[in-house]
Amino acid sequence: MSFIDQRLSQMDALANWPSQAPVFAQINEHIPEMCKLPYDYLFRDDPVSMAECTLLLWEYYDLTNVLANLDVYNYEAESMGQAVNFYKGHIPDVDRGNFLIKDEKDIDKIRFNGFESGRFPYHAAYLETIKQYTRQYLIPNLCAPWSLACNIYGMENLLVDCLSEPDFVHAMFCKLVDDFYTPMFRGFIEKYPENLSYQLADAWASPPMVTNEIYLEFIVPYIERIVEKIDVEGFSVSNIGVWGIGGFNDENDRKVFADMLIKTSGMLSSLDPDNERIGAKWAVDYGSQKSCPVLLGIGTSFLETASIDTIISRCKDYSAIAMSGNTPVIMLLNNISPFTPPDKVHAAIAAIRFYARPDTNIDQDFKIPKRESFEEFIKEKVKNNLEGYKFTWLGKSGLMV
């Protein structure tokens, strides 16, 4: 069984909970540093190599990931004409000094320009390469309406206008759904009819950046509007990457936000620092009460800076909580930062795999498995290239292979 088949079978286990909890991680910023490649080369110039490097990191870290790890907030904006800055040393980002939409006169710039616009050709090549190597269509991470609006209009502008010019904001979101998302998703359905479920990244929709009232008025209706406009049986979209549940001191406010998360994403996300503030058990208990899956996330800076013993302790605690409820739990390393030491990542994932399963005694001692370096791993993969990777990127890499 290939490593990707093993990962997919781990996802199937969620339907038979309690079972081994899958382990996900956002690794897009970590990939160039591990592969010792320029960011602009991977994120702009060579989608085949980006796909290979992504799969190699998944295998090296024993991740369950089955989602695209790209700069997921930029593709839609760039395809409409939003300027994006690329850098050799960090992930690309939109030009925040030059937003595409500056006022209501620019609203007609919001339109779908086809799959040849922007980096959609890169995006397609990345997905096709993953499919070639894994025999699976990888669900692409796309950008949700709210976060897309933040990247073409500016978050501060958007928040101010939600209060002062709500009619304009609603008009902009209607335009986004009707003239951009609807033709885009119809195109995806034509290209990939086997997939009808899509996930929309929406980290900009996290409290305290938004309130419950803003989420209810400007986010929920437009997720629903996408599904209504597509009007295809089985088609669904879900908002992911939203955090901030731990920022509510009032229990009722927290539950209102949790209910909206469940409605728009199909699960309840509780990511550090949420778990640090209110405890991971709150989310697992509430998810069990609502009969929905829970995503428990371990913080980025914590993973980078904490000692290995402290990391293992937290992973053990969260794993025990995950196993205490009656709802499936996915464990997430929120975002592996570029310079997080690999031994910390290995320790966290191995600890979760050891403790976050129903047959493990939580008091049982855990020993970190010895792992080879990433360079040694790549050397072995080059010798035994069962997947058929091209490895053309090694000519540009600083790895000593």
| DSSP 8-state assignment for residue 137 | P
262: pLDDT strictly greater than 90: yes
Exposure of 63 by Cβ count < 10 A (0-12 exposed, 13-18 middle, 19+ buried)?
A: buried
pLDDT digits 0-9 by tens, 276-287: 999 999 999 999
pLDDT-based confidence at residue 401 (cuts at 50, 70, 90): confident
For the chain, where do the domains classified as CATH 3.20.20.210 start and end?
69-242
Question: Distance between CA 21 and CA 350 in Å, rounded?
Answer: 12
Kindly indicate the confidence band of residue 67, based on its pLDDT and cuts at 50, 70 and 90.
confident
CA dist., res. 284 & res. 385, Å (int) = 41
pLDDT of res. 362? 86
- Say whether 270 sits in a helix, a strand or coil: strand
Q: Determine the 3-state secondary structure of 329 from DSSP.
A: strand
What does DSSP assign to residue 385? -
Give me the helix-helix angle, 280-290 and 308-324, nearest 10°.
20
Contacts of 6 (CB under 8 A, 6+ apart): none
313 contacts 303 by C-beta, under 8 angstroms:
no
pLDDT of res. 14: 67
Strand runs (DSSP E) across 104-246, as ranges? 141-143, 197-201, 236-240
Which residues are 23's β-sheet partners?
A: 331
Task: State whether CATH 3.20.20.210 applies to domain 69-242.
Answer: yes
User: In 217-285, which ranges are E strands?
Assistant: 236-240, 268-271
User: What was the pLDDT predicted at 159?
Assistant: 98
Given pLDDT bands bounded at 50, 70 and 90, which one contains residue 1? low
pLDDT digits (tens, 9 = 90+) for 88-129: 999 999 999 999 999 999 999 999 999 999 999 999 999 999
pLDDT in tens, 126-181: 999 998 988 877 777 799 999 999 999 999 999 999 999 999 999 999 999 999 99
